[in-house]
Homo-oligomer: A and B are copies of this chain.
Amino acid sequence: MLESEQIRLAARNGTLNQPTTGLAYGFVQANLVILPAADAMDFLVFCQRNPKPCPLLGVSTPGERGIPSLGVNLDIATDIPRYRVWQDGEMVNECADVSHLWRDDLVSFALGCSFSFEEALLEQGLELRHITQGRNVPMYRTNVPTNTAGKFHGPLVVSMRPFKPADAIRAIQITTRFPDVHGSPVHIGDPELIGIKNINQPEYGDAVDIKEGEMPVFWACGVTPQSVLMDSKPKFCITHAPGYMLVTDLKNAQLAVM
């Protein structure tokens, strides 16, 4: 059995209650959004119009609890270690299983996550400051609007990693190879140009040190859809809890386009 399937089964039977960060090395982890079919079509269009923050790795048909391309025996209602349940844009519950909330009209979206490109950056010898400092990556709401689709709208959220300029150039090249997991950066340099007032006060995650001679590099972030869901307030929605991701059977290396 693949290590990824073992992780999913452990989440399913309740023996895995921790964030999936660092588990099942080499396997693609994904952000999860589950919406009723009435909203799913708009959200699917939203993803299509915003591929950098919402790169769609897989989607189910209404009611289907598997996404065949992403995992053997995958049950989307049980295989994530922690879920968040949302009503009208407010989080109303966190739980380890959403079988009791399942409906025949629910559609599941698996969206690419930066863990995949971070693995590629680390393998090529680049330092990721938030990992060195044992923190969550810093994330910021920008003044850059996403492309609206139906009720879904809201600003782009970005993650930031500082690099020396030559490493920033290399990081752009490496992440360009991975369009399904946010791809190349959306911004480099001056944070104010995208509406970030204080680089030391991220809206999500933790601030990290930016050393003399380094520049901030910004990628579209998978927190964008959660931020958009809070702004757009669909009646009902389920997501993963941050850091508790869907572990798929895809390998990160498979996502490289060249």
Which positions in A face B, CB cutoff 8 Å? 165-166, 168-169, 172-173, 176, 184-190, 193, 213, 215, 258
Task: Contacts A213-B193, A258-B258 given; indicate if A188 touches B176 (C-beta within 8 A).
Answer: no
Q: How far is the CB of A48 from chain B (nearest CB, A)?
A: 20
10 nearest A-B pairs in the assembled complex, by CB-CB distance: A172-B172, A165-B188, A165-B187, A189-B215, A165-B189, A173-B176, A193-B213, A169-B185, A169-B172, A169-B184
Task: Judge whether A188 and B213 touch: CB under 8 Å.
Answer: no
Task: Judge whether A188 and B173 touch: CB under 8 Å.
Answer: no
Number of copies of chain A assembled together: 2
* B-side contacts of A165, CB under 8 Å: 187-190, 193
Sample of 8 further A-B pairs with CB below 8 A, known A165-B189, A169-B184: A165-B188, A165-B193, A168-B188, A172-B172, A173-B184, A189-B189, A189-B215, A258-B258
A187: contacting residue among B166, B176, B193, CB under 8 A: B166
* B-side contacts of A213, CB under 8 Å: 190, 193
Task: Contacts A172-B172, A173-B176 given; indicate if A166 touches B186 (C-beta within 8 A).
Answer: yes
Q: How far is the CB of A9 from chain B (nearest CB, A)?
A: 40
Q: How far is the CB of A102 from chain B (nearest CB, A)?
A: 41
**Residue of A169, A176, A184 contacting most chain B CB atoms (<10 Å):** A169
CA distance A82 to B112 in the complex (A): 55
Q: How far is the CB of A258 from chain B (nearest CB, A)?
A: 6
Closest residue of chain B to A168 (Cβ to Cβ) is B188
* B-side contacts of A188, CB under 8 Å: 165, 168-169, 188-189, 215
27 contacts between A and B (CB under 8 A): A165-B187, A165-B189, A165-B190, A165-B193, A166-B186, A166-B187, A168-B188, A169-B172, A169-B184, A169-B185, A169-B186, A169-B187, A172-B172, A172-B173, A173-B173, A173-B176, A173-B184, A176-B176, A188-B188, A188-B189, A188-B215, A189-B189, A189-B215, A190-B213, A190-B215, A193-B213, A258-B258
